[in-house]
Amino acid sequence: MEQPTISPTTKCFMLAALAIAAFAAAVPATAQTRKPDADKLAKHFAAADKDGDGKLTLQEAKAGLPRVARNFDKIDKDKKGYVTIEDIKAAMASRPSR
C-alpha cells in the first residue's frame, strides 16, 4: 500500500497547530502557578509584619523576608521607609521574566 504524500503547506499547518496547542496547554499551567506564589507571599509578608500594620520596615524585612530586604530601596520607590505587599508585587511584576 502506498503512503499518502503530505504537501509542504500541510506540514507547515500541522506544525503550527501543534505549536498553538502546546502554547495553549502551557498558559493555564503558568496562570495556576502564580496564585500559589501570591498566597505564599501574603503568608510570608504577614509573618514578617510583626506589628500587623500592613507595612514592612527594613528591620522587619531583614528578619522575615531577606530578599525584600536586599532590594528594599528599589521596592520603596517613594522612600517612605516601609514597603507594602502591593509595593512588593509591583516590583515583582516589573522585573524581567525568567
Name the residue ranges covered by the structural domains of the chain. Answer: 8-94
In the predicted structure, residue 63 carries a pLDDT above the cut 80: yes
CA dist., res. 76 & res. 9, Å (int) = 54
pTM of the model: 0.61
Axis crossing angle, helix 85-94 with helix 8-48, rounded to the nearest 10: 150
Tens digit of pLDDT for each residue in 6-56? 777 766 555 555 556 556 665 554 444 456 688 999 999 999 999 999 999
- What architecture is domain 8-94? Orthogonal Bundle (1.10)
Q: Determine the pLDDT at residue 30.
A: 46
Q: Determine the pLDDT at residue 6.
A: 74
Give me the mean pLDDT over the 64-86 stretch. 96
Q: Determine the pLDDT at residue 50.
A: 94
CA dist., res. 65 & res. 84, Å (int) = 12
CA dist., res. 81 & res. 83, Å (int) = 7
* Single-letter amino acid, residue 65: L
Distance between first and last Cα of the chain: 50
In the predicted structure, residue 97 carries a pLDDT above the cut 80: no
Query: 71 is written with which cell numbers?
Result: 532590594
